[in-house]
Amino acid sequence: MEPLDLTARPPRSCRATLDGLVLLPRTIDKLRAFLPGGNPGPYLINAPTMLGLSGYLLIRLGIEEDDLRRIVAEAADEHEVAAWVRAHSDPAAYDEINGAITHLRPRHARDQEFFLANHGETMRAHPELEFLVDILDADDRRMFPEVAS
């Protein structure tokens, strides 16, 4: 797969799905940004003190970040990545994983100080948003108002 520059546009929405799995397209985009020639900008899989949403997805799937990073680097396209994920996880758990991810709230962040420092502006601007996926998507729209997400 080709590298991405996430200083030019955000990764796909947290709610985007691939092969029935929420957040997988966004995680792939972030991993592509770490490929040679890519630029992750402010995006991470896991922060130094906090498990990121993509990191949480990988834990729930039972997949190591380094393994998925390698597959993303070697794959021709994201469908090949999705097939690898399916072969190395339990697809019967996808609905449960999707529900868990889409219903996480800011209070679930392990490092509240880090989370608020990085997403507090969006949370203050959008107090109606209660789920992390929606806050992160709103944060992307705030950082990239010229790009439709």
Q: What is the pLDDT of residue 45?
A: 86
Bridge partner residues of 21 (DSSP): 18
Residue 3's CB is within 10 A of a number of other CB atoms, namely: 17
Residue-wise pLDDT for 1-18, tens only, equals 999 999 999 999 999 999
- Residue bearing tokens 């758990």: 93
**Distance between CA atoms of 7 and 18, rounded to whole angstroms?**
23
Overall pTM > 0.75: yes
Would you say residue 149 has pLDDT above 50?
Answer: no
Angstrom distance (rounded) from CA 25 to CA 22: 8
- Give the angle 61-120-148 at the CA atoms, nearest 5°: 70
* Residue 92, C-beta contacts closer than 8 angstroms, at least 6 positions apart: none
Query: Residue 143: CA atoms inside 13 Å, Cβ hemisphere, count?
Result: 19
Give the model confidence (pLDDT) of 128-140 as tens digits.
Answer: 999 999 999 999 9
Identify the pLDDT of residue 49. 64
Q: CA angle 62-44-51, nearest 5°? A: 50
Give me the mean pLDDT over the 97-114 stretch.
86
At 100 the pLDDT is 95
pLDDT tens digits, 24-79: 999 999 999 999 999 999 998 886 666 789 999 999 999 999 999 999 999 999 99
Contacts of 2 (CB under 8 A, 6+ apart): 32, 35
